[in-house]
Amino acid sequence: MRAHNLALVLQTVANSTNQPSRAAVSAATGLTRATVSALVDDLVSGGLLVEVDPPPRTGAGRPAVGLTLTSTGPAGLGLEINVDYLAACVVDLTGAVRQRFVEHADQRPADPAQALAALGALAARARLAAEADGLIVAGAALAVPGLVAGRGLVRVAPNLGWQDIDAVAELHRVPELADLPVTVDNEANLAALGELRVTGGDPTFLYISGEIGIGAGLVLDGELYRGVRGWSGEIGHVTVYPDGRPCRCGSRGCLEQYAGQEALESGEPLAAAALGIALSAVVNLLDVPVIVLGGAYAPIFERLREGIEAELRQRVLTSGLAPVALRPAALGADAAMRGAADAIIRAVREDPAGWLRRSSQRYV
């Protein structure tokens, strides 16, 4: 009960547009003033909430002290490895980005251990910089362009050439990360969650992540649909031309061969048409009203838009009744690492009792 109420109070403050007083939290939650006060005391002493002075006020009555999320407490470390870059960011409990590092380098020649060691070094820099800034990194989440099984095992990442790589174990070899909880997820899934949570907005949409490979994250009524084994969203290997170019996956005519980042360089109209064909199939099947274009597509969205829309108009049965809305990703190329960092922050916000327990053990 206490754990549930701690989360309720923390979420109430987090979702407030102003800095609510204890009395306002009591009114919003239906908990008694005394209960709220005790819970707030725990959240303040545990470093999750801070009290802020009320604005000076004239007239009678003492203004109440307000509450807000701390910007020096737990933080999430978001990591991304992709074919041509490594990235790390640290996001604090309020959702603000406090550190951001991006390193452009082709990861394909590196073996998985080398690539993860380089990412680990970047992650260690981000963590140390954040901790020098007063934050406590609560955990890390890694976004990878591939299929992930339980416990951080990357089953296959075709464009990196990875198979059955224990990414968590590799990151834990870096001394500065050895004590840090690390999770791993597909980059398009994390980017879709980033779009959903960081920007608010549509509860149902398809997120398309255009990198060297192409991934998708399907969000239905505010929930990510992962598929039975967590392997949904491989839109890059949807066939757009059955007798087309051979693909790294062993098939032919996959979307990725026409609209992946390398194919984009040689022909945007062809890429837009291929995307439109693949997306039409998704919309016909699932009735998704919004498509968000992220990764390398976000900055060139306006150049792709007309070509994609032409295919959707022609191929989607219901396009005359309700056109599909296309928009660029609000977080741009940072969506996956922001979504990763947000997953860590969200876990703390949803279970503050767990965080308080762990952080008290840390200082015993």
Residues at the interface with Zn ion (CB under 5 A): 237, 247, 249, 251, 254
* Measured distance CA(10)–CA(309) in Å, rounded: 43
Q: Shortest distance, CB of residue 305 to Zn ion, whole angstroms? A: 25
Q: Which long-range contacts (CB under 8 A, 24 or more apart) does 98-103 make?
A: 98/130, 98/133, 98/135, 99/126, 99/129, 99/130, 99/133, 100/126, 100/334, 101/125, 101/126
The partner residues of 69 in beta bridges, in order of sequence, read 49
Cβ burial, residue 252 (10 Å; 0-12/13-18/19+): middle
User: Based on CB atoms, which residue is closest to Zn ion, 73 or 295?
Assistant: 295
Q: Shortest distance, CB of residue 3 to Zn ion, whole angstroms? A: 46
Angle (deg, nearest 10), helices 22-29 and 2-14: 110
User: Based on CB atoms, which residue is closest to Zn ion, 76 or 210?
Assistant: 210
- DSSP label of 299: G
Q: Shortest distance, CB of residue 252 to Zn ion, whole angstroms? A: 8
User: Based on CB atoms, which residue is closest to Zn ion, 75 or 275?
Assistant: 275
Q: Shortest distance, CB of residue 117 to Zn ion, whole angstroms? A: 29
* Measured distance CA(268)–CA(204) in Å, rounded: 27
User: Based on CB atoms, which residue is closest to Zn ion, 25 or 208?
Assistant: 208
The partner residues of 137 in beta bridges, in order of sequence, read 75
User: Based on CB atoms, which residue is closest to Zn ion, 180 or 214?
Assistant: 214
Give the CA distances from residue 23 to residues 20, 64, 74, 214, in Å, rounded to whole numbers and listed in that order: 8, 8, 26, 49
User: Based on CB atoms, which residue is closest to Zn ion, 254 or 288?
Assistant: 254
User: Based on CB atoms, which residue is closest to Zn ion, 74 or 210?
Assistant: 210
Q: Shortest distance, CB of residue 270 to Zn ion, whole angstroms? A: 16
Q: Are 294 and 82 in contact (CB under 8 A)?
A: no
The partner residues of 143 in beta bridges, in order of sequence, read 80, 185
* Measured distance CA(186)–CA(99) in Å, rounded: 22
3-state SS assignment for residue 162: strand
* Measured distance CA(326)–CA(66) in Å, rounded: 40
Q: Shortest distance, CB of residue 254 to Zn ion, whole angstroms? A: 3
Longest dimension (CA), the chain: 80
User: Based on CB atoms, which residue is closest to Zn ion, 248 or 303?
Assistant: 248
Q: Are 88 and 79 in contact (CB under 8 A)?
A: yes
The partner residues of 97 in beta bridges, in order of sequence, read 91
Q: Shortest distance, CB of residue 273 to Zn ion, whole angstroms? A: 18
Q: Shortest distance, CB of residue 330 to Zn ion, whole angstroms? A: 29
User: Based on CB atoms, which residue is closest to Zn ion, 48 or 254?
Assistant: 254
Q: Shortest distance, CB of residue 210 to Zn ion, whole angstroms? A: 15
